[in-house]
Chain A
């Protein structure tokens, strides 16, 4: 279970709302900024947004579910995208993916309990020369082998 600090949510929503001149019409920007802080949009946060902006929860919920950029499921600080396009597939992307699943203990589409990593697959990132490619928060890692996975994850864990 993920623990949420309700007081922090209140403060963050107030701050972001203030940033946009307390204008409820700028809901998308508000939600985007909040997602930047939390990496996803928890239920309590959406309720707080509705409370403070005066926009009905049904509307906030519709917006949050309408756009793909918003996630109502927990997402980690680092989003790991394993390329499974043709070139990467041939070069053993699935072995890399399996190793990532083992190391992180999650399946594709899931997030680790400490909210550090989210594992996803993508179909081609246009960097086939570097195959197999793993993209972590917009940084491209080329020539990844199952053996390199553990140290890669360790690197990111220690970065914070």
Chain B
């Protein structure tokens, strides 16, 4: 049995398990905290700073990121106050200045009632550098196909040397988790193509229904990982 912890979020009493984060408990209790760089499957990274909340522990109140703050017995969490709103607004405005044309960001901005700050010089980027794709590629898929390059102003996500990655299996996990949907994935003429990573791989049809389900590189990777015969792996989940 896992140890339970109880605390309050916005005055409401909630309980979670030890090892969960404040954000996870809030989501389990249908309390909305905006967050971009968080996914249950990977370790919290606290990169996007959207999930800022105030935590009162004993006498001290501090601003923390809910996605990596451990659920602790007796803390008082506030998800909405003047100072949080102010911080969140600037964070979102900075993100919008970095990536001016992201529908997903505009959606959140509308929800939170934040407008673009004209004073912030607009850059022409589309990646918010949350690192979710990189972390999923490393920790969930385990192929290390993409990573960061450089630092500070010139930091970006790419394959090594920005060339076709030999280790990418074109699984599309990065595209799936991207919170702002900027990793396009396309299936055309029997190939699955990921333009951003300069990689394409031939699709293999399911022997039962004929639907495309995995790529050649994926199959090779799965065969090495699981040691299962090819025939078993190529059957799509619907036909299994």
Contact = CB atoms under 8 A, between A and B. Distances in A.
B144 A56 contact: yes
Interface in A44-72: 46, 56-62, 65-66
Interface string B127-143: 00000001000100000
A61 B151 contact: no
Interface residues of B, number: 14
Contacts of A65: 149-151
Interface in B114-160: 134, 138, 144-151, 159-160
A58 B137 CA distance: 11
A57 B144 contact: yes
Contacts of B151: 65-66
Contact of B150 (A43, A56, A57, A66): A66
Interface in B163-201: 167
A59 B149 contact: no
A9 to B, nearest CB: 16
Nearest to A60: B160
Interface residues of A, number: 11
Nearest to A66: B151
A60 B144 CA distance: 11
B147 A59 contact: yes
B149 A61 contact: yes
B147 A43 contact: no
A61 B161 contact: yes
A57 B150 CA distance: 14
Given A65-B150, A66-B150, A66-B151, A58 B145 contact: yes
A58 B150 contact: no
User: Which 3 A/B pairs are nearest by Cβ-Cβ distance?
Assistant: A58-B147, A56-B144, A61-B160
Interface of A: 43, 46, 56-62, 65-66
Given A57-B167, A58-B159, 9 more contacts: A58-B134, A58-B138, A58-B144, A58-B148, A61-B147, A61-B149, A62-B149, A65-B150, A65-B151
Interface of B: 134, 138, 144-151, 159-161, 167
